Structures are given as structure tokens and as C-alpha cells.
């Protein structure tokens, strides 16, 4: 037996031991990560479970001392009272209407702007794109006064358009679409142009069908952001029939005072639609964000 053969056979067990050690370390790391994630999930779920527990308690037991998870009996009275004494269906309708319009128009505006920045050469394109991205760093709160003055001059205060129009500009949506469009091969556009397709046809019939993950991500993010937006609708709307759900829930909490069961019931009723959207479209959200190359 040659020296090389003997050396090879002696090093083989070492390689096997090293492989087993690596597998064991990987299993330990995966198990540790799993346990940490479970603990973090439980910590995140704890307030939600407490909200459900409080909403299902009789009102008198929500302030009982000592605090306990289990009530003498669970009841849906807080939900029934909330639905009977508030304008909740109208607030739901207003939120759905404004959030849906904002989502659709945001997708159209952001995608057309991103297509121009990605595929249409024009002077100052890069400078204009960075100017738009700079809008991400501008806090929305400092725009409240000029936006309100603008809506007042256009007679749009206390109207649906007053809620919708200021929320249509989304620099981050333009960035997401541009990142996605930059990853589409130029050969598809060149082939379509050679066949006589216009830029509008290339955008609408080729780019947009390919950008479905980005469309889903932007639409869902815009919908959730609009649904949860409290400050701007609270400022621009004064009529109870035009209030969105967050604004309406704030008035309910003020009128209920310390009725914690009803406050929790209204909060849960307001959060259910957003939870449903995430449950049904979580795959599209992940695919859309992954397709843009965004991290963290």
C-alpha cells in the first residue's frame, strides 16, 4: 500500500468527524434561532391576546384588582355595544374607499414614474430621481400645515379628496418599482419596440404583468399605511360621516372613557381587516420586497 493511500485513509475519519461537528453546530444554531423566534413571537402576541381577553370580559371585571386573565364568564357584549352605539360601518366604508383609491392610484403613479426613470432617457433623470428619493427623509408631520392650506384653497377640506390626494405621493413606491424594472432584461423591450410597440404598450402589456410582485407589495403597503393613518384624516375631516376608522375609534375611546372592554373591542374591529390583508397576501409582500433587492 502506498504512502498516499495510507495518508488518504487516515484523513478520511477526520473529515467525517469535522462534518459531524459542523452538522451538530448547525443543528444547535437552528434550534437556538427557533427558540428565540418562538419567544419573540409570544412576546409580540401577548398584547394581542390581552386585548382579546379584555374585550371578552364583562366591563366591571376589566378594572378588577388583582388583574387576572380569566373572567367569571366571557361575553360579546363589548362588541355588540360598540356596533350598536357607533358609526362603525360608515367608518369602515370610508377607510376601505379611501385606502383602495390611494393604493390603486399610488401603484399607477409610482410605476409610470419608475418606468420613466428606468427606461426613458431624458436630461436630468438621475438628479430628479434623487430629489424624489430625498422625500423619504422628509417627516410627514412638517407637511401638515402647507397641505392643509392647499386643501383649503381647493375647497377640499372635509371631503374624500382631501383625505386621498396628499397620500398619493410615495417616493418609496417609486424606488421599489424602479429597482424591479432595472432587473428586467432590456431584450424584452427591444423586441417589443422592433415589433412596433410604443413605450406605453411596453409599460402596460410587458412591464406591468412582469411586475406583479412589486405591484402587490406596493399596493398592500399603501393600503395599510392609508388604513392606519390617523393624523391627516383627523386634521382634514370634521364630519362624523366622513371619518375614517382610526379617527372614529379615537372619538369612541374619548366617549367611552375608562370602558376598557369596549375600547379593546373597537381596536380589534379596526385591526382585523389589516390582519386579513397580510394573511392573504404575505407571499406577494415577500416576493415583491425580495424582487426589489431591499434588505432589513
Which DSSP string do the residues of 116-132 spell out, in sequence order?
A: HHHH---TTHHHHHHHH
User: How many other C-beta atoms are found inside a 10 Å radius of the C-beta of residue 270?
Assistant: 21
C-alpha 96/C-alpha 45 separation (Å) is 26
Q: What is the pLDDT of residue 296?
A: 45
Residues constituting the chain: 296
Would you say 269 and 84 are in contact if contact means Cβ atoms under 8 Å apart?
no
- The per-residue pLDDT string of the chain (296 residues; one tens digit each, 9 = 90 and over) reads 555 554 445 555 665 656 766 777 788 888 888 888 888 888 888 888 888 888 888 777 776 677 677 777 777 888 888 777 778 888 889 998 999 999 999 999 999 999 888 888 888 888 888 888 888 888 878 888 889 999 999 999 889 999 999 999 888 899 889 888 888 887 877 787 787 778 788 888 888 888 888 888 888 889 888 988 888 999 999 888 888 988 887 776 655 556 777 778 877 887 777 777 777 766 666 665 555 554 44
Coil, strand or helix at 76: coil
Residues 6+ apart with CB under 8 A from 56: 71, 74, 75, 76, 78, 261
Q: What are the cell numbers at 128?
A: 430628479
Instruction: List the CATH code of the domain at 79-292.
Output: 1.10.3720.10
Would you say 253 and 102 are in contact if contact means Cβ atoms under 8 Å apart?
no
Q: Spell out the domain ranges in the chain.
A: 3-55, 79-292
Give the alpha-carbon dihedral of 115, 120, 123, 126, to 10 degrees: 40
For residue 73, give the H/E element and its range. none
Q: What is the pLDDT of residue 257?
A: 56
Q: What is the pLDDT of residue 102?
A: 94
Could you tell me which of 281, 215, 247 has the C-alpha nearest to residue 86? 247
Which DSSP string do the residues of 206-259 spell out, in sequence order?
A: IIHHHTHHHHHHHHHHHHHHHHH--HHHHHH---GGG--HHHHHHHHHHHHTT-
Q: What are the cell numbers at 146?
A: 402647507
Long-range contacts, stretch 143-147, CB < 8 angstroms, 24+ apart = 144/231, 144/232, 144/235, 147/232
Q: What is the pLDDT of residue 12?
A: 54
Q: What is the pLDDT of residue 13?
A: 60
Q: What is the pLDDT of residue 133?
A: 83
Amino acid at each position: 500500500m502506498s504512502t498516499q493511500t495510507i495518508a488518504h485513509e487516515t484523513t478520511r475519519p477526520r473529515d467525517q468527524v469535522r462534518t459531524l461537528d459542523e452538522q451538530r453546530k448547525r443543528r444547535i444554531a437552528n434550534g437556538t434561532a427557533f427558540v428565540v423566534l418562538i419567544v419573540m413571537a409570544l412576546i409580540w402576541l401577548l398584547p394581542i391576546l390581552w386585548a382579546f381577553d379584555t374585550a371578552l370580559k364583562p366591563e366591571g371585571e376589566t378594572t378588577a384588582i388583582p388583574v387576572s386573565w380569566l373572567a367569571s364568564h366571557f361575553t360579546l357584549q363589548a362588541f355588540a355595544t360598540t356596533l350598536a352605539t357607533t358609526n362603525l360601518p360608515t367608518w369602515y366604508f370610508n377607510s376601505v374607499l379611501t385606502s383602495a383609491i390611494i393604493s390603486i392610484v399610488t401603484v399607477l403613479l409610482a410605476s409610470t414614474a419608475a418606468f420613466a426613470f428606468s427606461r426613458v432617457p431624458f436630461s436630468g433623470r438621475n438628479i430628479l430621481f434623487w430629489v424624489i428619493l430625498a422625500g423619504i427623509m422628509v417627516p410627514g408631520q412638517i407637511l401638515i400645515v402647507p397641505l392643509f392650506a392647499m386643501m383649503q384653497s381647493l375647497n377640499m377640506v372635509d371631503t374624500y379628496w382631501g383625505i386621498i390626494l396628499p397620500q398619493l405621493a410615495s417616493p418609496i413606491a417609486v424606488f421599489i418599482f424602479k429597482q424591479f424594472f432595472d432587473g428586467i432584461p432590456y431584450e424584452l423591450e427591444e423586441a417589443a419596440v422592433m415589433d412596433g410597440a410604443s413605450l406605453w404598450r411596453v409599460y402596460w402589456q410587458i412591464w406591468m404583468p412582469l411586475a406583479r410582485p412589486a405591484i402587490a407589495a406596493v399596493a398592500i403597503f399603501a393600503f395599510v399605511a392609508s388604513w392606519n393613518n390617523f393624523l391627516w384624516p383627523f386634521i382634514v375631516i370634521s364630519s362624523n360621516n366622513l371619518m375614517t376608522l382610526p379617527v372614529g375609534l379615537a372619538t369612541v375611546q374619548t366617549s367611552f372613557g375608562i370602558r376598557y372592554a369596549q375600547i379593546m373591542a373597537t381596536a380589534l374591529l379596526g385591526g382585523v381587516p389589516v390582519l386579513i390583508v397580510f394573511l392573504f397576501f404575505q407571499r406577494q409582500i415577500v416576493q415583491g420586497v425580495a424582487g426589489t433587492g431591499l434588505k432589513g
